[in-house]
Amino acid sequence: MSFIQQAYLGKNDWWRYLLTFFLMLFGWQVIGIIPITVVAYVKAGNLGTFMEAAENAFAGLGINANLYLFLILLMFILGLYFLFLGVKYIHQRAFKTVITSRESIDFNRVIFAFLLWGGISILFFVLGYIAEPELYTWNFRPVPFLILLILSFTLLPFQTSFEEILFRGYAMQGFGLWFKNALMPLILTSVIFGLLHGFNPEVEKLGQIVMVYYIGTGLMFGICTLMDEGTELALGMHAANNIIAAVLVTSDWMVFQTDALWVDTSEPSAGMETFIPVFVVYPLVLVLFSKKYNWTNWKEKLSGPVLPIQIEELDKES
């Protein structure tokens, strides 16, 4: 049974997807907003009402950078937990089935992808620093950085896992049931993933052209998931990308404004660094993965039909 077919192991009425979506949204964007709003309300004494605090919570309002990061990540943790509840109790299937088609999660794959993409991200930074060192300001402060390091390696993976399991797992499988093929889920999840990142401040600064990077990244993660029959590689790469971004370099226009080692003081612009990862690095990474994990049947896995599994197979798996 392929990864995308595993949705057949649970109950798949349309209303179950709708209810799970709203349950996840409730945990992520309703309950999750309460802690950061309370902190914003306490910190900003000039705000007259709690509703005003809610409207301004995501501006930071003088909140310590590490506390702010923790509160933001808490929202994603709650979103992941409520998605877990929806899959387990509304769809009535094991949560593992939206993560991998293997008997258990392959953490060796997660670690390999993490190290690979972490190394590539650091290399890109080093090359940028060598080319224009004047654009980077050393920002190391031992205590805040140590706290940031702990938060990044313990909580940031929940944020990236939430996004990967939601898009490359739950949504990919759900769209597979709907369209009965793999290509439309791959395209839709990649585009939706990119469009949701359109709310990031980077898009306002860099322009809509940066959506090429976000959609291209979603497409690459989706290809990895379909070809490898699980989200492990995407989980590792996404975690590495965000952790390196959080601890290595920050700026006043990035979504994560942290106590990173360096501050990027350059004027934001969308140059070749937007296109090189998508059109050069991602294909090379896919080739590497394909060789390491012996990927075959590309056409079938990326665009083939998603057929209902046989009843005997369903009974065996459930």
How far apart CA 192 and CA 180 sit, in angstroms, is: 19
DSSP state of 155: T
Report which of residues 210 and 285 the model is more confident about. 285
State pLDDT tens for residues 2-28: 999 999 999 999 999 999 999 999 999
**pLDDT-derived band at 180, boundaries 50, 70, 90:** very high
pLDDT attached to residue 55: 57
Of the two residues 216 and 205, the one the predictor is more confident about is: 216
Lowest mean pLDDT among 208-212, 247-251, 294-298: 208-212
Determine the Cα–Cα distance for residues 105 and 96; give it in Å rounded to an integer: 8
**pLDDT tens per residue across span 63-102:** 788 998 999 999 999 999 999 999 999 999 999 999 999 9
CA distance 229 to 106: 11
pTM as predicted: 0.92
Q: Which domain holds residue 291?
A: 4-317
pLDDT (0 to 100) of residue 318: 44
How far apart (Å, rounded) are the C-alpha atoms in residues 174 and 181? 11
Quote the number of domains for the chain: 1
| Residue from 253, 79, 268 nearest 158 by CA | 79
Per-residue model confidence (pLDDT) at position 317: 47
